[in-house]
Structure 1
Amino acid sequence: MELGIGIGWRPEIADAVEALPGIDWVETVAENLCTDHLPDSLVRLRARGVTVVPHGVSLGLGGADRPDPGRLAGLAARASLLGTPLVTEHIAFVRAGGPRTASPGLEAGHLLPVPRTWDALDVLCENVRIAQDSLPVPLALENIAALFSWPGEELTEGQFLAELVARTGVRLLIDVANLHTNHVNRGEDPATALDELPVEAIAYVHVAGGIERDGVWHDTHAHPVTRSVLDVLAELRSRVAPPGVLLERDDDFPPVTELAGELTAIRTTLATAGRAGREARSEARAAGDDAAASATPVEPTGTATDAATGPGPGSTAEPAAEAARDRAAVAQTALLSALVAGTPAPEGFDHRRLAVQSRALAAKRADVVAKVAPELPGILGDGYRKAFLAYARAHPMSAGYRRDALDFAEQLLIAGRPADDDDRRRLTHWWQDRAAARPPRRTTRLVRAARAALVGR
């Protein structure tokens, strides 16, 4: 399946995407689409023959729980609506807590890495099989960027991905910007990862920009693509011709001319690296070096299981599988609680890196709430961000960004804020339009908190 050169479709740049020359396909965040109709821009693109691929961000296939049937059904409906050849998601967890740990549910609002261990791989593979059985088209999974590493990891990234493909047959979405991020933040060599993973399983490639601050690379998707990221793309292209390559941009959108320039840089990198790869393989063949010419990926060692097999209901492996999920639940809940609820960092993690991640999660949360509820920064003005970050420190997210916006407004109103009467009246009306007849009194809020604490014990 050849996709060609594409760009991430976002409502903010819909007109620019339609105007860009040479766009073969686009990718859109699946959760931002309705399940029964498409934005006019995507309808026009599809009418022109442009493929649209839905890119999921909320399944949490690396999480301890099995995938939510409702989320899978929603992704399947969007795939059918778009007539897409595949759907994509991430190798990550996005929520933790709940019944397995007898603790309140927590949401990260972001993609967090799973440990590269055999235990985590077992859980991930079963979740992937469940997703594959629920979707009408093939699934491809993306490697994510991370600011920190899990202690006690047993596999490299390339080995982990190779095992995942061997067990499930899933395709790969390789993000070269994420490989670069992990190089800066975790000291992992992108070339080694590319040598170890099965490049023949690549469905397509992501390219995106970021920025380095204080020795940490932030995969922002809001900055231009750097030369270092294009170098990783060249490394990949020297090994394989990817079926598709896509430019991602999620914020701080530049003029259409700059987007076109980045696409040109991607095309040039692919062409140059492709020629260099062909020349290298030709030289290798002339020298009789068959191994170098075929560029066979390194096969990782480990305890891989057959891709067509897996523990079924009632099998002797089922208790072991549930035990692995329970261990994952405890570990992921402890980590996410440290990141969003201020609990102590689990043993073995880099406390400084977790602090950086915690601040990044809070900042992203503030940014997204400002987007889904733009009236809030409109009412609060320059005080919005400070007020929201103070709220976030005491109130982890548990039910998505829209609920988060309502809860934030509710907390402000209970505290008698904003101080200005007109602003408080505007905020009250905004809250009432979306939540209930009136904000609950302080006593009601205290009773709710007490009940939640009892349930969480």
Structure 2
Amino acid sequence: MVRLGTGIGWRPEIAGAVEGMPGIDWVEVVAENVCPGHLPDSLLRLRERGVTVVPHGVSLGLGGAERPDAGRLAALAERAAVLGSPLVTEHIAFVRAGGPVTASPRLEAGHLLPVPRTRDALDVLCENVRIAQDALPVPLAVENIAALISWPGEEMTEGQFLYELADRTGVRLLVDVANLHTNHVNRGEDPAGALAGLPLEAVAYVHVAGGFERDGVWHDSHAHPVPRPVLDILTDLASRVSPPGVLLERDENFPGADEMERELGAIRGAVEDGARKREDGAPRGVRVRPARSGPGSAEAARQRLALAQTAVLSALVAGTPVPDGFDRVRMGVQARALAAKRADVVAKVAPEVPVILGEEYRTAFLAYAQERPMTGGYRRDALDFAEHLLGAGRPGDARARRELRAWWLERSGPKPRSRGPAVRLARATRRVLLRR
């Protein structure tokens, strides 16, 4: 197993600070945010210095009912090859649902959502992980995620679920101790119990991140300092096993380099505290190996999981009724969080739109999001939002409307949909030209 050391999540906003930090052994990049043919100069310089770069995927949806998309797997494999990475990582989550399996519109969450800890979900996840492993040129590690909601009728603890996943597939684990803390606050799950159930020999590395609590709900923001309880969980993990690597994640509200270095120092200290306890031979909990699932129909499991995940995602993003057994208040919190994240990310991928709309942007986008679930990526969502506004004769300010129309036309071609004969004729003409 590769010994990575201490690392930090590389982001363009802190690229210079990361290059200048002492003691950085490796960095992690969001796989979907780098182009293999145009790697940022900062990453190239880090690689030349011998700093390991690990691509971290967010869009495969290995916990979804569908098999992993071959194109997404090929893209992840290409990034691993170009970066010379010793492994790649992804999440135990579903990010989309619907489509042909359920004969319903495909929906995108734009977020990592929890899979039910059931035999059906485990069987599907194991097959999806094997498909990914076969397509990737280096080992795969999968991460436990944070969750606001719990599935009713779960059959395993998180430790048992992850133990059996690793046992059946040989996949490595990326243990996010911040996510264990999130699930402790939001779902009442014991982090020590989860660690005691894990096959710690399969740990590839560890994530550490910050968040905040509001109204009894912990939000895994990656935009706040790492709190003491998360460091305590890291110490507990390090008292059980020497983690091959530990990485600080920060995605927003980036502090100065000095503060990030202090956080890295606190992380190193937590690992050292755990190592001392391990050397002292502190007694650990006994791991209970879960019973293996019996034979069943894989396709039937996929169908059942697809229907369940589609119902949940539809309730979160399309306003359909909340499925039985789910906490309606928590589902409401999750739905609002998804809409807010969607607005934030669209503002990042299309920064001209909030500039054009000004203070109207957020209110207009959240109203749009209530009516129109995301069915593609965030860039498609930004174009659809602009088209929606223009089709409704908005924004009200004529100058802003002209600017938004110019932005939309530059990126998508034809004029937004209209029933006017002139527009239909223009579209027909464009189709003829495109065939030539």
TM-score tier after normalising by the smaller chain length = over 0.9
> In the alignment, which residue of structure 1 is the partner of 2:34?
33
Deviation of the 1:280 alpha carbon: 3.2
Matched, 1:403 2:404: no
Letter aligned with residue 291 of structure 2: G
Letter aligned with residue 205 of structure 2: Y
> In the alignment, which residue of structure 2 is the partner of 1:414?
391
1: CA distance, partners of 2:325 / 2:365: 31
2: CA distance, partners of 1:437 / 1:103: 28
Q: Retained in 2: the 8 A contact 1:198–1:297?
A: no
2: CA distance, partners of 1:44 / 1:297: 45
> Over the residues paired in the alignment, what is the CA RMSD in angstroms?
1.4
Matched, 1:303 2:280: no
Matched, 1:334 2:311: yes
> In the alignment, which residue of structure 2 is the partner of 1:214?
215
Letter aligned with residue 138 of structure 2: V
Letter aligned with residue 188 of structure 2: G
The verdict on how the C-alpha distance between 1:4 and 1:193 changes in structure 2, with shifts beyond 3 A counting, is same
2: CA distance, partners of 1:33 / 1:148: 31
Q: Retained in 2: the 8 A contact 1:62–1:92?
A: yes
The verdict on how the C-alpha distance between 1:50 and 1:359 changes in structure 2, with shifts beyond 3 A counting, is same
Deviation of the 1:442 alpha carbon: 5.2
> In the alignment, which residue of structure 2 is the partner of 1:89?
90
Letter aligned with residue 145 of structure 2: I
2: CA distance, partners of 1:297 / 1:20: 40
Deviation of the 1:46 alpha carbon: 0.1
> In the alignment, which residue of structure 1 is the partner of 2:158?
157
2: CA distance, partners of 1:94 / 1:348: 21
Deviation of the 1:277 alpha carbon: 2.3
Letter aligned with residue 254 of structure 1: P
The verdict on how the C-alpha distance between 1:226 and 1:431 changes in structure 2, with shifts beyond 3 A counting, is same
> In the alignment, which residue of structure 2 is the partner of 1:374?
351
Letter aligned with residue 120 of structure 2: D
1: CA distance, partners of 2:14 / 2:229: 25
Letter aligned with residue 218 of structure 1: H
> In the alignment, which residue of structure 1 is the partner of 2:20?
19
Q: Retained in 2: the 8 A contact 1:37–1:81?
A: no
Structure 2 stretches of 5 or more lacking a match? Answer: 425-436
Deviations 1:349-399 (A, max 9, x none): 000000000000000000000000000010011111010000000000001
Q: Retained in 2: the 8 A contact 1:222–1:249?
A: yes
Q: Provide the secondary structure at the position in 2 that maps to 1:266.
A: helix
The verdict on how the C-alpha distance between 1:221 and 1:341 changes in structure 2, with shifts beyond 3 A counting, is same
Letter aligned with residue 311 of structure 2: A
Letter aligned with residue 110 of structure 2: G
Instruction: After TM superposition, list the pairs within 5 Å mapping 1:191-202 onto structure 2.
Output: 191-202=192-203
Q: Retained in 2: the 8 A contact 1:163–1:304?
A: no
Deviation of the 1:2 alpha carbon: 0.4
2: CA distance, partners of 1:129 / 1:267: 34
Deviations 1:393-451 (A, max 9, x none): 0000001100000000001111111111111100000000001132221579xx9xxxx
> In the alignment, which residue of structure 2 is the partner of 1:5?
6
Would you say how many aligned residue pairs link Structure 1 and Structure 2? Answer: 421
Deviation of the 1:276 alpha carbon: 2.2
Indicate the larger mover: 60-69 or 414-423. 414-423
Q: Retained in 2: the 8 A contact 1:145–1:181?
A: yes
1: CA distance, partners of 2:137 / 2:258: 37
Matched, 1:324 2:313: no
Instruction: After TM superposition, list the pairs within 5 Å mapping 1:120-269 onto structure 2.
Output: 120-269=121-270
Q: TM-score, normalised by structure 2?
A: 0.95
User: Which of structure 1's runs of 4+ aligned residues deviate more than 2 A?
Assistant: none
Q: Retained in 2: the 8 A contact 1:105–1:398?
A: yes
Identical residues among aligned pairs (%):
71
1: CA distance, partners of 2:156 / 2:227: 28
2: CA distance, partners of 1:278 / 1:350: 43
Instruction: After TM superposition, list the pairs within 5 Å mapping 1:104-123 onto structure 2.
Output: 104-123=105-124
Q: Provide the secondary structure at the position in 1 that maps to 2:240.
A: coil
Structure 1 stretches of 5 or more lacking a match? Answer: 282-291, 306-316, 448-457
Q: Retained in 2: the 8 A contact 1:167–1:304?
A: no
2: CA distance, partners of 1:443 / 1:297: 71
Q: Retained in 2: the 8 A contact 1:166–1:304?
A: no
> In the alignment, which residue of structure 1 is the partner of 2:59?
58
Deviations 1:84-104 (A, max 9, x none): 000000000000000011000
2: CA distance, partners of 1:103 / 1:206: 36
2: CA distance, partners of 1:354 / 1:259: 34
Letter aligned with residue 172 of structure 1: L
1: CA distance, partners of 2:27 / 2:347: 26
> In the alignment, which residue of structure 1 is the partner of 2:427?
none
